[in-house]
Amino acid sequence: MLFADVSGSTRLYEKLGDKEALHAVERCINRMTRATEQFHGRVIKTIGDEVMAVFDSAEEGMDAASSMQQRVDDLPPVSGIRLAIRVGFHFGPAIEDAKDVFGDTVNMAARMAGLAKAGQIITTGETVGLLPALLQQSTREIDALSIKGKAEDVRVCEVLWQESDDLTMKSGSVAPAAAARMVVRHGGEEQVLDAGHSVFVLGRDAASDVIINDRRASRSHARIERRRDKFVLIDQSTNGTYVTFAGEVEFALKREEVILRSKGHISFGHAYDAGGEVVEFQVG
């Protein structure tokens, strides 16, 4: 299981504007997709600037990760900004259902990607142990971290996909991404989505974290998940979820996902109506 995303995509949108930044992200996604296919993997889904892919072996996952980094590294700068990605992978059993993949292996791969910096590939010591001896020589252990849900520390390793002084890091220099946080406002109340509360459920059901009173909303209308340093809005309603980023045109989600960025508002079951019930959000 492998996750790869464009490093600093929020800054790209701020510096380049939506159109040019989206084109730059798409070029990275296309190159990551081709690298996946080159080593017989499958892209399960793309969400914004992130690719989620599966492979039949740890070796193919490592080869694809290295190819992704090389392909993106070969891209020319965009308006003076170099494009970079971060990759994390972990090999193990997973459950595939309804064109998605679930399980501990998925969660561990996501955690490895969250530890990676721009231009880096991070994996687990367990995965390295499954690689051919020659490929193991292109990795090094850099830390042992306590991972929630794991009784023992997890050995964290870096894949040395290129020979560069940039990769001469001391053990322990890999750290989790800066604490991500999002503020959600509704009905005069403010709630925070962060490491301590990583999922919000929004809907008419009284058990929801954010209770929506609009009858056009579903009981379990949508949820917001914190995935590493990003926040993903997932529609699971009958009538759709309508999203507006500040200064942009509203769009509808219908059983789809989107990464929330900057700030904006969300309407439930219908397009935005001035004076109607909305949830406001602000990332960062």
Q: Which CATH number fits domain 2-167: 3.40.50.2300, 3.40.190.10, 3.30.70.1230, 3.40.980.10?
A: 3.30.70.1230
pLDDT tens digits along 74-108: 998 888 888 999 999 999 999 988 889 999 999 99
- The neighbour count for residue 100, using CB atoms within 10 Å, is 11
Is pTM beyond 0.75 here?
no
- The neighbour count for residue 102, using CB atoms within 10 Å, is 12
* Cβ(235)–Cβ(222) below 8 Å: yes
Residue position matching structure tokens 């926040």: 231
The average confidence (pLDDT) of the chain is 88
pLDDT tens digits along 107-158: 999 989 988 888 999 999 999 999 999 899 889 888 777 766 677 788 999 9
By three-state DSSP, how is residue 201 classified?
Answer: strand
CA dist 15 → 111, 130, 141, 197, 282 (Å): 28, 42, 36, 31, 19
Domain layout of the chain by residue ranges: 2-167, 182-283
Short-list 191, 211, 209, CA closest to 200: 209
Say which CATH topology domain 182-283 has.
Tumour Suppressor Smad4 (2.60.200)
Give the model's confidence band at 167: pLDDT under 50 very low, under 70 low, under 90 confident, else very high: very low
- The neighbour count for residue 117, using CB atoms within 10 Å, is 16
Short-list 202, 170, 203, CA closest to 184: 202
